[in-house]
């Protein structure tokens, strides 16, 4: 099949629309892209020198939804089905995968990094990474009236914080603090609230905080307007009021900035837990001995295993996690302008690029 995709020839240079032939091989499918979200990681590849495992030229994009239009041997049952494609697809057969550590699978495929990604008319991907989408025209299954492009951000933006929350052991009544409330942080706030946690959202963008105040956040704070001692006092106030001990407080670093990472680390209390979900190539100076002194835990989180996607999709379709107030659609042909806007922080919502007919 003839595919059109936006290729990065060199980092920072305008992407170019090119054509190539793609054929689904055994165990693979070809997905007609309905929408592809623009992630902070894409900007890292494009602007910040974060290396991709596939050399440039390369098509970026790993938040993809669409319809399967071609299959290789063994994947024929997917033809015609609407799907979300997992951003990171483990092989499922290696020792890491068999041990439940698919996130560190050495044979994993990260779309837009290991292979061409979703800023294209079509995407070739392993069928094992597909999450089926129910009939969206059925109001009983889709009471929110969501369309297929909107669901693209489930891949990474919603599933990644979901896995981080699962791994943290967060339970109803615990305190969840999200440092950085855009993108994955904003969806993380909603997910934690849906699980019954008391949620505090920190961000320097007031528009994001105002939106989250009506979508799960019990408290919103501006770290740029408070000294750290006062910020920490206010963050811990809801826990103190409710009698939530420090070992039931989970900190999620979702800003992907050096300032956010330093703030998140500083908020740890005795027996606390820090999930490092955001990414920055910049170095951060921390007193690592705090983990020892506090008997605290810090853990990274890489993507989300495909088996968790259906549960996240159910939360979205049921309305427990809202998408529409947090996303913005643009034509795929605006990709260069959109990257510039995202890099300059002129956009506060998750942009979904939609291929033109």
Q: Where do the domains of the chain lie, and which CATH numbers do they carry? A: 2-156+304-354 (3.90.180.10), 159-300 (3.40.50.720)
The DSSP annotation for 70-139 comes to EE-TT-GGGTT-EEEE-SEE--SSSHHHHTT-GGG-TT-EEBTTTB--SSBSEEEEEGGGEEE---TT-T
Q: Are 111 and 85 in contact (CB under 8 A)?
A: yes
Q: Please tell me the predicted confidence (pLDDT) of residue 357.
A: 74
Q: Please tell me the predicted confidence (pLDDT) of residue 355.
A: 97
The C-alpha atoms of residue 219 and residue 235 are separated, in whole angstroms, by 8
Q: Please tell me the predicted confidence (pLDDT) of residue 260.
A: 97
For the chain of 357 residues, list the mean pLDDT of each consecutive stretch of 10.
96 96 97 97 94 96 98 97 98 95 96 98 98 96 96 97 98 98 95 98 95 96 96 96 97 96 97 95 94 98 96 97 96 98 92 94
C-alpha triplet 140, 137, 194: angle, nearest 5°: 50
């Amino acid at each position: 099949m003839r595919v059109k995709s936006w290729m990065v020839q060199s980092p920072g240079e305008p992407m170019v629309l090119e054509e190539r032939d793609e054929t689904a091989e055994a165990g693979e499918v070809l997905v007609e892209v309905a929408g592809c979200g623009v992630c902070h990681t894409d900007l890292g590849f494009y602007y910040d020198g974060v290396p991709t495992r596939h050399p440039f030229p390369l098509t970026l994009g790993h938040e993809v939804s669409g319809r399967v239009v071609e299959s290789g041997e063994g994947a024929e049952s997917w033809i015609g089905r609407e799907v979300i494609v997992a951003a990171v697809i483990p092989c499922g057969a290696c020792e890491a995968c068999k041990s439940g550590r698919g996130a560190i699978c050495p044979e994993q495929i990260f779309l837009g990094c290991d292979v061409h990604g979703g800023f294209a008319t079509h995407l070739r991907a392993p069928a094992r990474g597909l999450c089926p989408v129910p009939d969206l025209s059925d109001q009983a299954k889709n009471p929110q009236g969501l369309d297929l492009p909107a669901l693209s951000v489930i891949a990474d933006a919603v599933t990644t914080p979901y896995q981080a929350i699962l791994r943290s052991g967060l339970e109803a009544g615990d305190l969840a603090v999200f440092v950085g409330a855009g993108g994955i942080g904003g969806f993380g706030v909603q997910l934690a609230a849906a699980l019954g946690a008391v949620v505090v959202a920190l961000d320097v963008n007031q528009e994001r905080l105002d939106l989250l105040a009506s979508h799960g956040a019990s408290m919103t704070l501006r770290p740029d307007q408070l000294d750290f001692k006062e910020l920490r006092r206010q963050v811990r106030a809801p826990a103190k009021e409710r009698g939530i001990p420090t070992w039931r407080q989970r900190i999620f670093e979702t800003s992907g900035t050096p300032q956010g990472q330093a703030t998140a680390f500083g908020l740890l209390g005795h027996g606390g837990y820090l999930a490092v979900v955001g990414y920055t190539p910049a170095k951060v100076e921390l007193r690592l001995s705090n983990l020892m002194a506090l008997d605290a835990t810090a853990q990274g989180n890489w993507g989300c295993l495909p088996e968790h996607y259906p549960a996240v999709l159910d939360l979205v379709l049921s309305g427990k996690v809202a998408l529409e107030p947090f996303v913005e659609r643009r034509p795929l042909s605006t990709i260069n302008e959109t990257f510039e806007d995202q890099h300059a922080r002129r956009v506060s919502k998750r942009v979904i690029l939609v291929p033109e007919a």
